[in-house]
Amino acid sequence: MDFAGQVVIVTGASRGIGREIAAQFAARGAQVACVATTVPGAQGTVDAIGGGKAFACDVSQSDQVEQLIADIQESLGTPSVLVNNAGITRDTLMLRMKDEDWDRVLEVNLKGAFLTTRAVAKPMMKARYGRIVNISSVVGLHGASGQANYAAAKAGMIGLTMSTAKELGSRGITCNAVAPGFVATDMTSDLPEDFKAYVEKSAPAGRLGEPVDIAPAVLFFASKEAAYITGQTLTVDGGLML
């Protein structure tokens, strides 16, 4: 898969899955717009992957997202690919969950994906080409105790994926989702050790995932070769949910 000459936007690019996705696009010739909540966070990825450009944005804020896309167009060119990877967790049981914990997770994970998709759709429609890939989760498909907010947001991203595919398909734009299982990143570092052991024992692959396991699925959906695939969700979980 070759992305030479393409402008690729990756949100949540400062670490983990986002950084690996950015790295793999850059290795295949893309100009990567690495987006994080701070410029230093994004710049760390730019430095690590040896290219691209850092941008700061709170993806839950419409004005910041609109400015982000305008800045990317001005400095790099028309985006060909958007990867909605930005996400946070604020886990606790539902009866203990505060309103602000629910609101913030939905704002960043789901509203953020909507806002960036809406903003990038305009230049993509004009170009009559685009690839949008949403990073959902197996939790969005199966739920999880203590993650009502995160599960709702990730399930919402799957609905957003299908609606986007239907609305934009006639303009040469596809939209698909990747649903990772439990991946060893900073976000999952606080998982109890007994749960990690359960995953390793239960998954046919016999281990937790790594960011490098997720990125190739994203690149495939973002490729020209995937032109006839849209509105789909691909689970990448080592077989855990079988």
Q: Which residues are catalytic?
A: 150
- What is the CB-side half-sphere exposure of residue 184 using CA atoms within 13 A? 12
Element (H, E) at 175: strand 173-180
Task: Assess contact for 43 and 17: CB atoms under 8 A.
Answer: no
* Helices first, then strands: H and E counts in the chain: 9, 7
- Pairwise CA distance, residues 41 & 31, whole Å: 18
With H, G, I as helix, E, B as strand and everything else as coil, classify residue 140: helix
- Secondary structure (DSSP) of 177-194: EEEE-SB-SGGGTTS-HH
